[in-house]
Amino acid sequence: MLLASRLVLGHSHAISGAFAWAALAPTLPPIWLHTTLSAHDVIVGTALAAGAALIPDLDHHGGTIANALGPVTKVLTRFVERVSGGHRHATHSLLFAAAAGGGSWAGVHYLGRYFAVGVTFVLLALAGIALHLHPGGDGVRAWGPVVIAATLGTAMIDQWLPDEPVWLPWLVGFGCLVHLAGDFMTERGVPLLWPIKMRFEIPLISRTGNRVEVWVVSPLMSVGTVAALYVLTIAPR
C-alpha cells in the first residue's frame, strides 16, 4: 500500500495523456506541427496519446505495461531497464522525451507509413493494457485480447492516417512529458535533467494517496477528455 501510494497508476498516466492531447493539441500552433490538425487527427491522437504517456515506464520489467505485448515487451523492458540505469532514470528525463520525439520524427520522415502504423499498434497496446481493456488476469489472458484489440484498432486508424503524419512525433514527445509531469508529483520524483542525477519532485500524490487519484482525478480527466472532444468535433456543427 505504501509502495502503491508513491506511484502514479498506469491507467492514470494513460488517461492524463489522452486528456492533455484532447485539451491542448487543438491549441498548438500549426507552425510547430507543420500542419493544422483535423478533428480526425485529434480523435486518433487522443487514443495514441494514452499509450504515449506510458513510454517512459518501458524501463520497468515488473510493471503492468511490461505485459502489453507478452514476451516481446518483457524482453524489451528488461533491456531498457538495464541500459537506462533502472526504473525512473534515463527514460524519465527531458532528454529522453526529446529523443523519443526526434526518433519518431526520423522514423516518420524516412520510413513513412510503415513506421507510423507500427507505432500506432504499440501505442494502442500500451494504452489497452494500462486501461485494463481485457478480461483480467496476467499473462496471455491479458495480453492476448490486448494484441487483438490493438490490431483491429490499428487497421481502423490506418484508414485515416495520412502518409506522413507529421504530428505523430510531437504526440510521442508530448506523451513522455505528460508522464514526467505525473511522476514529478510523487515522492521519488524524476531526474528531469538526466544525465545530471538530481531528482525533481512535488510529492502531491504521496499526500493524497491513490484513492483521490482513482476516484477523483482520473474520473475528472476522463470527463474532461470527452468534453474536449465534444467541443472540438460535435459542438461546432
Euclidean distance between CA atoms 118 and 195, whole angstroms: 29
Cβ 57 to Zn ion shortest distance, Å: 4
Report which residue type is found at 199: R
Cβ 13 to Zn ion shortest distance, Å: 7
Our CB check for Zn ion shows the closer of 42 and 178 to be 178
| Stretch in the footprint of Zn ion (CB under 5 A) among 49-57, 118-126, 140-148, 164-172 | 49-57
Our CB check for Zn ion shows the closer of 56 and 165 to be 56
Per the CB < 8 A criterion, the answer to whether 175 and 95 are in contact is no
Cβ 194 to Zn ion shortest distance, Å: 13
Cβ 92 to Zn ion shortest distance, Å: 6
Of residues 117-156, which lie at the interface with Zn ion (CB under 5 A)? none
Our CB check for Zn ion shows the closer of 56 and 191 to be 56
Place of cell 482513482: 214
Our CB check for Zn ion shows the closer of 51 and 56 to be 56
Our CB check for Zn ion shows the closer of 183 and 213 to be 183
Cβ 82 to Zn ion shortest distance, Å: 17
Q: Per rule CB under 5 A, is residue 213 in the interface with Zn ion? A: no
Our CB check for Zn ion shows the closer of 165 and 191 to be 191
| Stretch in the footprint of Zn ion (CB under 5 A) among 54-62, 115-123, 143-151, 223-231 | 54-62
What is the Cα Rg of the chain in Å? 17
Q: What's the Cα-to-Cα distance from 84 to each of 93, 132, 195, rounded to whole Å? A: 11, 27, 10
Cβ 234 to Zn ion shortest distance, Å: 34
Dihedral of CA atoms 9, 11, 15, 17 in degrees, nearest 10, equals 70
Residue 119 CB: number of other CB atoms within 10 A? 22
Total number of residues that touch Zn ion (CB under 5 A):
3
Of residues 160-189, which lie at the interface with Zn ion (CB under 5 A)? 183
Residues 6+ apart with CB under 8 A from 94: 177, 180, 192, 193, 194
Cβ 62 to Zn ion shortest distance, Å: 13
Per the CB < 8 A criterion, the answer to whether 53 and 215 are in contact is no
Q: What's the Cα-to-Cα distance from 170 to each of 25, 132, 147, 225, rounded to whole Å? A: 10, 26, 25, 19
Per the CB < 8 A criterion, the answer to whether 190 and 180 are in contact is yes
Residue selected from 41, 57, 81, 213 as contacting Zn ion according to rule CB under 5 A: 57
**Contact positions vs Zn ion (CB under 5 A):** 56-57, 183
